[in-house]
Structure 1
Amino acid sequence: MSAAGPARSAAERLLSVLGAFDHGRPALTLSEIARRAGLTLTTAHRLVAALTDWGALERDESGDYHIGLRLWELAALAPRGPALREAAMPFLEDLYESTHENVHLAVRDGRDVVYIERISGRSAVGVRSQVGTRWPLHATGVGLVLLAHGGTALQEEACAGPLTAFTPYTVTDPARLRSMLAQVRTTGCALSDRQITDDAVSVAAPVRGPRGEVVASVSVVVPVAGAPAQTLIPAVRIAGLGISRALGWRPPGGTGLPSGGKPIAAR
């Protein structure tokens, strides 16, 4: 929103300063903050000074500003952040040790998936995900799981588009997407084939909270040219079940695996 637009509250202006930073531009000058936040230089200077004094921003020796540690401390209080990661980490490590491929833990934020943990090795297939980055739900394995369990209203909103294509394989047809979501709910896992990059496949499964609601998703991303991704489904399901149990969920009368699911070696 530009300075010439409708008047914004003090809180909105402060948040616009913080929102000027992203993974593409983690360091900004004062003038860049003003431009990206849609503020006058004078207003930006006053707000940046206040945020720096409080610790939400930090200034380096070159004069550029960065997000400050005070915000990291506050973020640690988020129930879908460090607490979830701490419960999940033993199972993410087990999944990584059995595959030596990229392992992700992600949560939903609106129509996006946000990655809150990632483990990868030097020999793992290249991925574009990083901790803190977000991608549209329809284009990732973890996103498909979260969308499939996100309720009818969210699914219809997502299917109404736009469904952005990142590769020729990205699902952009609403009817096909609905079919995929139904399959995720039936099988208990998602298979995202070359939707973000054309050399990787993601296998994902849900993570449930104490009441059985899907609160996150776990996945492993493997190269298309490697072993069939389907062989990883039991290992990813088991990781999701383990994290769910650590969060307090107890599946009614069974292992929590869909019928026919049988643990096998991941690799």
Structure 2
Amino acid sequence: MAGNTSTPGATVTSRALALLGAFDEHHRRLTLTDLAARAGLPVPTAHRLVGELVAWGALARTPSGEYVVGRRLWDIGLLAPVQTGLRQLASPFLHDLYGATLATVHLAVRDGTEVLYLDRLSGHASVPVVSSIGSRLPMHATGVGKVLLAHAPDDVQQAVLADLPRVTAYTITQPGTLRRQLARVLRDDYATTVEEMSLGGCSVAVPIRRDGEVVAALGMVLPSLGRERPRLVGALQVASRGIGRALSASGNE
């Protein structure tokens, strides 16, 4: 929870930032009262500032009356050098991959214990895809997530393994099973899912490395993998190596 900013001398900027800082992984939707309490502000002050933040697009109000982070903050976040560099450098490879497979293509990074989708090209096949640019999804139920989780620090793996919510009937919710899958990801250098995030959708993903370090994941979503798996993995690995070389050459992380 943010510290109390209602003390004399607190600036309007600090109060507005305290309202934005009230949101975190466990507080994605907040009422005005909760926002005020977490930001350490009187409700009338919070009400006035929240109104300005909504008007600007930093916050949005849901039909139920709660507040969520607005899309404009995401748009600004995309201008950060690391994400901008990665998206720009990866874009030609994503388009090549899409052109070769006509599948939905994803570029993702780890954000805490979740997957953050930086870019997506929608495929031609009618496959349920729940991700969107800027969205966050569970690591254990997505192909790109399993890749990133396999290469994540131990504390991140432990946090994810301690909480494996079921998304579909096929979601892996047993820690032992997921650990074995992560070991295979490290061995085979790719991950797959079968209807674990959405029914009717399968995914395959590979890591993107910069100077040997996994910095992102590249994946595809299709109706099924079947005998096409080796070809799809090969296409993903060619693209991921190209992105990695581009990252190393540019100096972007």
TM-score by length of 1: 0.73
* 3-state DSSP of counterpart to 1:12: helix
Contact 1:96/1:103 (8 A) holds in 2:
yes
**Residue 67 (structure 1) aligned with residue 65 (structure 2):** no
Contact 2:202/2:225 (8 A) holds in 1:
no
Percent of counterpart pairs with the same letter?
Answer: 39
CA RMSD of aligned residues (A): 3.4
How far apart in 2 are the matches of 1:225 and 1:139? Answer: 16
Tell me which of 91, 108, 111 is aligned to 1:109: 111
How far apart in 1 are the matches of 2:225 and 2:217? Answer: 24
| Aligned residue type for 2:19 | R
Gaps of 5+ in 2: 6-14
Match of 2:19 in 1: 13
**Residue 248 (structure 1) aligned with residue 248 (structure 2):** yes
How far apart in 1 are the matches of 2:119 and 2:220? Answer: 12
Contact 2:106/2:218 (8 A) holds in 1:
yes
Paired residues in the alignment total 231
- As a proportion of its length, which structure holds more helix? 2
Gaps of 5+ in 1: 26-31, 250-267
How far apart in 2 are the matches of 1:58 and 1:110? Answer: 22
Match of 1:97 in 2: 99
Deviation larger for 33-42 or 117-126? 33-42
Contact 1:101/1:124 (8 A) holds in 2:
no
Change (3 A) 1:151 1:225: closer
TM-score by length of 2: 0.77
* 3-state DSSP of counterpart to 2:199: coil
Match runs of 1:67-86 below 5 Å: 67=70, 69=72, 71=73, 74-86=76-88
| Aligned residue type for 1:151 | P
Match runs of 1:218-229 below 5 Å: 218-224=218-224, 228-229=228-229
Change (3 A) 1:224 1:123: closer
Deviation, structure 1 residue 72:
5.2
Deviation larger for 82-91 or 228-237? 228-237
Match runs of 1:42-57 below 5 Å: 42-48=44-50, 51=53, 55=56, 57=58
Change (3 A) 1:18 1:179: closer
How far apart in 1 are the matches of 2:164 and 2:24? Answer: 28
Contact 1:17/1:34 (8 A) holds in 2:
no
How far apart in 1 are the matches of 2:194 and 2:233? Answer: 14
Contact 2:115/2:137 (8 A) holds in 1:
yes
Match of 2:174 in 1: 173
| Aligned residue type for 2:70 | I
Deviation, structure 1 residue 41:
4.6
